[in-house]
Structure 1
Amino acid sequence: MAQARLMNQPPDFKKFGIDPQTVAPWEDGIRNTDVAGNNEVWYFDADFDDGSKVIVAFRPKTANGMQTGGFEPNLNMAITRPNGETTQEFSFVSLEDSSMSKEKCDVHFGPDYCTGNFKEYDVHVESMKQIACDLHYRALVEPFRQGTASLALGDKDEYFYTDMSVPKCEVTGTLTYDGQTVTVHGQGYHDHQWMNISPLAAFHHWLWGRMYTDKYVVYIYDFVTTEKFGFKRLPLFMIADNETGKVIFTTDGQVSVDTELADTPVGKQFPKTSRYTFHDGENKAEFEVTWQDIIEVRDMYGDAPKDQAEADAWAKQAGLSGMQKVVGSTKEQYDKAGIQPTYLRFFADGGVKLTLDGKTTESTGTMLYEYNYMGRVDPRADV
């Protein structure tokens, strides 16, 4: 059984040249190379006052291209209208028409870009046929990096999976859809991830989301590794103060979890209620979330073709061939790998009880979060 750990020790900070006390702009620049196995994403989302939503993600490689050397710059954007209808598009550009800075987040894919410095970001997309955006993000809290941001997997730390974020921003600007450009205002989020291992190989499941309460911003990314890495729980968790924007609590890795499971449309039981108790020395945060509605279902296993012949028949019926062909896994491939990928996104109620320096405060709020359940049902994985 290979080990898994958060890279948060003095030699880890020295290895990456990171100041443990300060998050520097270069940390949001490109961190990986184009070698096989590597990939990266600069991700932005927002929920607006009119009920619309947006997701934008810039990547140096496609998921399939991760297995080969070389860059294949691409981005995806999804706009959800106030009536709930969503349009998603993808864009691909040549490497010659792209740039990714090492100095800060400064990514240009043709006419589309994201650029910023943990305090302010601009996100502009105009290359797509039906939708576009021109958005400005203003950070309302400090950037959050747990340790070095890297989870190390393997006895020699040969694999890594990372996340660092700006968990709450004010977002202003415009969205374009249905032939109209609409001025928007709301709240949003940015994170930057880079890795050299597929999440399907690294993790059995994770819970990821953030909660905005009257007092706090609460952020959680609760990773549980695959059997290969010992079903190890590696949580990222922080609480920031709404008034000051300062991060006032992060976990030291000591956590206990209690869940109540419920049936779901993908044939697995997911946690209906999740209760976490995080520690940081004598300080403690008790976080609880209960979903009220399932707002997105992706059953990658259940919807997959049973074998390659069925996958090829589907592609032919859809008129896809060559570079247009959608390359996906079949049930046969999933079974061989011992995985069963499923994904749900929830609207939930929750709250946090925070004990700092002997003083306890409580705050409640609503939360949108995802539960990416990639592995098979296994009691050892502590779902």
Structure 2
Amino acid sequence: MSQQKLAVTAGTPADYTRLGLSPKNIAVWEDGARTDNRTGTYEWWYFDAHLEDGAKLVVVFMNKDLSTPQHPLDPIIRVNLDLADGRSFTKIVHFAPDQWSASPNGADVKIGNNRFTGDLHTYRITADVEGISVDITLTGTVPSWRPETGYMLFGEDRAKEFSWLPSVPQGTVEVTYAVEGETHTTTGVGYHDHNWGNASLLDIVHDWYWARGEAGPYTVIASYITAHERYGYEAIPIFMLAKDGEIIADDARHVSFETEGVYIDEHTKKPVAAITRYTYQDGDDRYVVSFTRERDLTRERMIDGITGVKRLAAKVVRFDGAYLRFTGTCGVQHFRGDTLVEEHTRPAIWELMYFGHAR
């Protein structure tokens, strides 16, 4: 008898029924508030873009820090802006609880005068935090998607959840951003997803690679999640490949993952792969998606962002979590049998989130 996995993506007919979801169609309400900010839960709405002027932009609206779901409502906006000239800005701004609202009927999140709203196709994001302002319109070119139900379940009772909805796997972006007295208006390619859960990620996830990219006619979302030690370091691969705006591959059972050129990052002391590769085999067709690192955008030890008693407590339990974000290339190869049918390469951004100790 096979042993029950301690970390899985929920995808049985019973899972869809229990969660009120359709296997085929994603409803607008799914991008609305999925928690009520109660103790033990967290939620965030994420956007990123590669812009034609060479800048890279990330905007996240969070109801609280993802590592502390036991805390009360603590609205946060995070903005990362990396300019083509090498300047890089990171803003993490906290707001009073009464500055937060989020509709359960669809994406309509307000933090103070900042807003993140949309309908699975068109989104408007406006934020002005600590000297950086953004006004973004994102229009989807690839349909909303989720890995099965989007819920990842942990434990024998599968009571702990981490959920993920890529509401816009890829879209066109029009953005005006201002920083250090400069205002820029440009276009680009963007992405939006929505995450929520009922257990601290520190308690259920050891580490993950997460990436999105586009190359030629292809759009890819790929992640390799390794569960916490208590869940046997179980692997949860996630993969979606679209071509010309239509999803052509998304069954994680067909995916294998490998790394090359692993080294120890000097600042975070975490093992980092120079290349992460996802191979999707379905019959004679094989798609190979490779993310090849060129340089680091972010190398953060999470403890460096903690102060006071929390920092002392983190040291006591030897917490050494890290977050790294890379830029490089996304390469997509399509083989039929042993024949290379087509190959495309384009710049991309991806991340390594590391909650556990290096294995």
Summarize the Cα distance change of 1:64–1:377 in structure 2 as closer, same or farther, 3 Å threshold. Answer: closer
CA distance in structure 1 between the partners assigned to 2:284 and 2:21 by the alignment: 27
Residue in 1 that maps onto 2:259: 259
CA shift in 2, pair 1:240/1:304, >3 Å: closer
- Post-superposition CA distance 1:194-243 (Å, at most 9, x none): 011222211111111112101201111211101111111111111011x3
User: What residue is the counterpart of 2:353 in the other structure?
Assistant: 372
Equivalent position amino acid for 1:111 in 2:
N
Relative to structure 1, the CA distance from residue 74 to residue 268 in structure 2 (aligned partners, 3 Å threshold; closer, same or farther) is closer
- 5 Å matches for 1:14-53? 14-53=17-56
Give the CA RMSD over aligned residues: 2.7
User: Is there any run of 5+ residues in structure 2 with no aligned partner, and where?
Assistant: none
What is the CA–CA distance in structure 2 between the aligned matches of 1:76 and 1:304, rounded to whole Å? Answer: 13
Looking at structure 2, the residues matched to 357 and 60 of structure 1 have their Cα atoms a distance apart, in angstroms, of: 48
Residue 213 of structure 2 corresponds to which residue in structure 1?
Answer: 211
> SS of 1:201's equivalent?
helix
Q: How does 1:42-121 map to 2 (within 5 A)?
A: 42-63=45-66, 66-68=69-71, 70-121=72-123
1:265-323 CA-to-partner distances (Å, cap 9, x unmatched) read 2334322223332345775433223322233212336x589xxxxx64xxxxxxxxxxx
**Is the deviation greater in 278-287 or in 105-114?**
278-287
Does the 8 Å CA contact 1:252/1:280 hold for their aligned counterparts? Answer: no
Question: Matched residues in 1 for 2:117 and 2:24: separation?
Answer: 23
Q: Secondary structure at the match of 1:231?
A: coil
* TM-score, normalised by the number of residues in structure 1: 0.83
> Which residue does the alignment assign to 1:349?
329
Distance 1:292 1:80, change over 3 A: closer
Aligned CA distance change for structure 1 residues 163 and 364 (closer, same or farther; 3 Å): same
Is the partner of 2:37 in helix, strand or coil? coil
How far apart are the structure 2 equivalents of 1:299 and 1:63?
A: 15
Offset from partner CA, 1:55-82 (integer Å, 9 cap, x none) = 21111223476213x4233322233333
| Distance in 1 of aligned mates of 2:30 and 2:209 | 24
Does the 8 Å CA contact 1:304/1:331 hold for their aligned counterparts? no
Q: How far does the alpha carbon of each residue in 1:82-136 deviate from its partner, in whole angstroms, 9 at most, with x for none?
A: 322233334444444432111111112221101101110000113x241111110
Q: Which residue of 2 aligns with 1:332?
A: 315
Q: Do the aligned residues in 2 keep the contact of 1:98 with 1:108 (CA within 8 Å)?
A: yes
Aligned residues: 352
Which runs of 5 or more residues in structure 1 are unaligned? 306-310, 313-324, 379-383
In the alignment, is the contact (CA less than 8 A) between 1:65 and 1:72 conserved in 2?
A: no
TM-score, L = length of structure 2:
0.88
Cα gap change, 1:359 to 1:102, in 2 (>3 Å): farther
User: How much identity, in percent, do the aligned residues show?
Assistant: 27
Which residue of structure 2 lines up, in the alignment, with residue 319 of structure 1?
Answer: none
| Deviates further, 34-43 or 49-58 | 49-58
Instruction: Work out the CA distance in 2 between the residues paired with 1:174 and 1:300.
Output: 30
Q: Which of these two proteins has the greater Rg computed from alpha carbons?
A: 1
Q: What is residue 381 of structure 1 aligned with on the other side?
A: none
Cα shift at 1:248: 1.1
